[in-house]
Amino acid sequence: MDVTTIRSMHDYDRWATGRILDCCSQIAPEEFTAETDLPWGSIRNQLVHQFIVHRRWLSWADGSLSGDQAYQLVADPEDYPDLQAVCSMWESVREQDAAFMQRLTSADLERVLKPDSPDAGFSIPVWQVLTHIAHHSMQHRTETAMALTNIGVSPGDIDYIFFALEQN
């Protein structure tokens, strides 16, 4: 994996998530927090899950937290009562992600992350963690896009190709 590809995946992630959040601004607050058939319950809960998982893995990959510290990061959706609070959470994650992408090197991608506990039994290179972040976000963003579409507010085309074409 190369730095350019990882950066592009994360740029796309930030772009597509922005499209989802823009759609969320078009729905009523009660629709944002209403229980749905989404894996995490509501649109709000789905986004909080997406963002805290992003932060966990990113914080370990960028070295700001140990693996154990990152794993212990939790977010209670009730602490994010409205879209503004969720957007603030996303902005913080987005800034951390963009800063790491800016300083990312090939050596960073090859660095191997090992959990603090010797019993964990795995290790993983940073490039795989960064790929996971993008794909995890894509899964939950797609589910959220469907929920938004079902209530009449579609984010439109959020495929990578539309992001890429906008960049050219």
pLDDT digits (tens, 9 = 90+) for 22-38: 999 999 999 999 999 88
Would you state the pLDDT for residue 132?
A: 96
The stretch 54-70 carries a mean pLDDT of 95
- pLDDT (tens digit per residue) in 81-122: 999 999 999 999 999 999 999 999 999 999 999 887 767 678
Residue 142 has pLDDT above 90, yes or no: yes
Q: How many structural domains comprise the chain?
A: 1
| Domain at 87, CATH number | 1.20.120.450
Question: On the CB side of 10, how many CA atoms lie within 13 Å of its CA?
Answer: 27
Domain assignment of residue 91, given as a range = 3-167
C-alpha distance from residue 130 to each of 30, 79, 124, 136, 146 (Å) = 33, 27, 11, 10, 25
